[in-house]
Amino acid sequence: MLFLRQAWTIAAKDLRSEFRTKEALNASLSFALVILLLFSFAFDPTAEMTREISGGLLWLVFAFAGALLLNRSFARELENDCLDVLVVSPVPAAALFLGKALANYVLLLGIEAVCLPVFGVFYNVSWAGQPGWLALVVLLATWGITVIGTMFSALTVNLRLRELMLPMLVYPVLIPCLMAAMQLTTPLIAGQPPSGDQLAWVRMLVGFDIIFTALSVTLVETVLIG
Amino acid sequence: MNALAVENLWKYYGDYPALRGIAFSAAPGACVALLGRNGAGKTTLLRILAGLSKPTRGTVRVFGKDCLDAEVRRRTGLIGHGIGIYDELSAYENLRLFAALYGLADPRRAALEWLERTGLERVRDGLVREFSRGMRQRLAVARAFLHKPSLLLLDEPFTALDDRAIALLQGLLQESLAAGATIVMSTHQLREALELATHVVLIVKGRLAHSGERTAEMAADPGYLYRTYGES
Amino acid sequence: MKEKILYALGALAALLLARNIRVMLTGLPDEAFQGAIFRIIFFHVPAAFTCFLCFFIALIASISYLKSGKMQWDSLAVSATEVGLAFGAANLVSGMIWARIIWGIWWTWDWRLTSMLVCWLLYAGYLVLRRAVEEPAQRARLSAVLSILSFAVVPFVFFSIKWFRTQHPQPVLYGEGKMDAAYRAMLYGNWAPLLMLAAVLVMIRIGQENRRRELDALRREVHAF
């Protein structure tokens, strides 16, 4: 119980900081919108093509924008040596990690919530055909991205080339999660409910989320305390 | 029971020993001045005491428990090189945050109390990034003492402080000592440190060169210690 | 003593390889559909086995390092990962040669080949991370954690790419069907010299890593004061 309260305190702190400055949020959101725009020039998709690439397009946008946002997660603590103070405090590293992951989750979901209607407008697509399923897929896959991104943010926090290293390390690990999200999202945006085959992707997402949350929570203390 | 007991402490960075067999102890109410040249191992030692780093060999016991124990962390206060407060939050929000993280029963009241003690109550809702340097330092001091720590770890605390902050810090340190806290302070400012110190630990190239009570000679002539026990 | 073992193992591997190649070229009949080039499978597949075995050894070494703090485990982890990457590259290149000859294209998004590529990129990241960390103990600790996370992703990579490919089929390099007994014997038979070669390379690399660490420590000692 105390653990959850501590995680919540950290999450609230991160969210308060971010909403006050909006640095990462603005950068990430602008980046997402620009990519959406660029893709429409790159492919100039017809209605049919859009239906086919919608899942891939959306999750690429979310992944790129997400990496930008998640990089800041632990890096923001380096100013004024706040990371040291947090690690020294009685808050366990696992609670610190979960708190940050929660804050990132909220921020990333917010960005996605803005991108979806923009996507609908730019590409002339009605995307809310299967709102329940779409919400489930978005919630599951975004948590996968968040957990991995936050963990790697902790891993690379003390490195010189942090901004370069994080994307390079994170994307291969995210491939299964992104692939599942893309495969599930494309038919959902077209309005079709998931077939039996596709439920396997949902199960994989759940497994991915559980395993990497467990691994990250276990390993984050090793990463933060030398 | 000793407040702090360090035994046979070794810290390796790869194959290179930064700390070699450090051993000393401190009773409640002791103020230990940790001296040594740059690179001797003072910061490494302090980081281990704070729980930021794990020893390769040896033990560190604080109040009889391992220094990574949550209960020990609750009673430890740290002033490191950085000030450790958030620029985007207000002074009040910062202190309330740390009070909550340290499990204080009433974080709001503690935050307000310490804003008053450090003379920052007028700017309590101002964002820290708009503060002057002196104000930030005082807030950092408030953060460290907020939870009434029994073990205080200070890494060159007097280096960047202005006069008002130094006076505030010295007052708080004396008050804590009188209340039975233990202080370990690494410093180059021998004069300020040796005034407060009851004990002295000198580290030379990772080894313990001297550990004992602060004597009159040391207080009178700060260089005495280095000449007697250390290298030139 | 250690050098003698290495030489012996290396010589044995070379002899076995020579014998195998002779058998491959003279002893085994051509495969029905793919012809002579099918023999490349005897290097292509064992290279993949060796690669993942090396990554598994790196995983064990990483966990052991985190538990014990002994730098020898870190040497084993990095050596096993590097050798694994080398064999992975061998698998990828032999796959590309094979695809070129059979299908006329350099790359086919065959699920096994694609999975190997993703895993290769994953572990290449491990090497890049190591380069970015100066201090040896921190480097060992962070790369150990990365090794654990990477190995955990590997099964997900294989499953997801395989399912993707069943939904979007592409040219496949070789089928799941039963292999002729003689072929299967050679497949595993050729794995033995490759394993020996991997062991030799890992041991050489470990020796190099230990010496480098010693030099680093001495340099620090000299420069510190």
Task: State the ipTM, two decimals.
Answer: 0.94
**SS3 string of C142-182?**
HHHHHHHHHHHHHHHHHHHHHHHHHHCCCCCCCCCCCCCHH
**SS3 string of chain B?**
CCCEEEEEEEEEECCEEEEEEEEEEECCCCEEEEECCCCCCHHHHHHHHHCCCCCCEEEEEECCEECCCHHHHHCEEEECCCCCCCCCCEHHHHHHHHHHHCCCCCHHHHHHHHHHHCCCHHHCCCEHHHCCHHHHHHHHHHHHHCCCCCEEEEECCCCCCCHHHHHHHHHHHHHHHHCCCEEEEECCCHHHHHHHCCEEEEEECCEEEEEEECCHHHHHCCHHHHHHHCCC
How distant, in Å, are the alpha carbons of A202, C35, C171 from that of C179? 35, 14, 19
What is the pLDDT at residue C47?
95
Residues on chain A touching C138 (C-beta within 8 angstroms): 158, 226
Task: Give the whole-number percent of chain A exceeding pLDDT 90.
Answer: 74
A114: CB partners within 8 A, 6+ apart: A29, A32
Position B134 in a domain = yes
Question: Which of A152, A169, A216 is best to mutate for the C interface (most C CBs within 10 A)?
Answer: A169
What is the pLDDT at residue A45?
80
For residue B14, give the nearest of C71, C224, C225 by CB distance.
Answer: C71
Q: How far apart are CA B171 and CA C51, in angstroms?
A: 63
Residue of A nearest to B140 (CA): A80
**Which domain range does residue B116 map to?**
86-148
What is the pLDDT at residue B115?
94
> Does A225 reach chain B within 8 Å, measured CB to CB?
yes
The residues of chain B scoring below 50 in pLDDT are 232
Position B69 in a domain = no
For residue A219, give the nearest of C148, C153, C161 by CB distance.
Answer: C148
> Does A56 reach chain C within 8 Å, measured CB to CB?
no
Residue of B nearest to C213 (CA): B15
Digit-coded pLDDT (tens) for C44-103: 999 999 999 999 999 999 999 999 989 999 999 999 999 999 999 999 999 999 889 888
| Minimal C-alpha gap between A92 and chain B (Å) | 8
Digit-coded pLDDT (tens) for C171-214: 777 766 667 777 788 888 889 999 999 999 999 999 999 999 88
- What residue ranges do the domains of chain C occupy? 38-224
Q: How confident is the model at residue C34 (pLDDT cuts 50, 70, 90)?
A: low
> Does B97 reach chain A within 8 Å, measured CB to CB?
yes
For the entire predicted model, the pTM comes to 0.93
**Contact state of C149 with A173 under an 8 Å Cβ cutoff:** yes
For residue B82, give the nearest of A2, A80, A225 by CB distance.
Answer: A80
What is the pLDDT at residue B232?
45
Residues on chain A touching C152 (C-beta within 8 angstroms): 211-212, 215
Digit-coded pLDDT (tens) for B117-132: 999 999 999 999 999 9
3-state class (DSSP) for residue C31:
strand
Mean pLDDT of chain C: 89
Q: What amino acid occupies position C154?
A: V
| Minimal C-alpha gap between A2 and chain B (Å) | 9
| Minimal C-alpha gap between A165 and chain B (Å) | 23
In this prediction, residues C166-173 reach a mean pLDDT of 77
Q: Which residues 60-79 of B are in CB contact (within 8 Å) with A?
A: 68, 70-71, 73-74, 76, 78
Question: Which of A4, A85, A222 is best to mutate for the B interface (most B CBs within 10 A)?
Answer: A85
Position B129 in a domain = yes
Position B197 in a domain = no
Position B105 in a domain = yes
Q: Which of C80, C146, C56, C140 is nearest to A165 (CA)?
A: C146
| Minimal C-alpha gap between B47 and chain A (Å) | 9
**Contact state of B14 with C213 under an 8 Å Cβ cutoff:** yes
Average pLDDT per run of 10 along chain A, which is 226 residues long? 94 95 92 91 83 91 93 91 94 96 97 94 87 94 97 93 89 96 92 86 97 97 92
Total number of domains constituting chain B: 1
For residue C224, give the nearest of B12, B39, B56 by CB distance.
Answer: B39
Give all strands of the β-sheet with B16-26 in edge-to-edge order.
B16-26, B4-13, B57-62, B65-66
Q: How far apart are CA A22 and CA A25, in angstroms?
A: 5
Residues on chain B touching A86 (C-beta within 8 angstroms): 101
Residue of A nearest to B147 (CA): A89
Q: Which residues 117-156 of B are in CB contact (within 8 Å) with A?
A: 127, 143
What is the pLDDT at residue C205?
96
What is the pLDDT at residue C32?
61
**Contact state of C121 with A172 under an 8 Å Cβ cutoff:** yes
How many Cβ pairs closer than 8 A exist between chain A and B?
77
The H or E element spanning position A168 is helix A162-189
Position B130 in a domain = yes
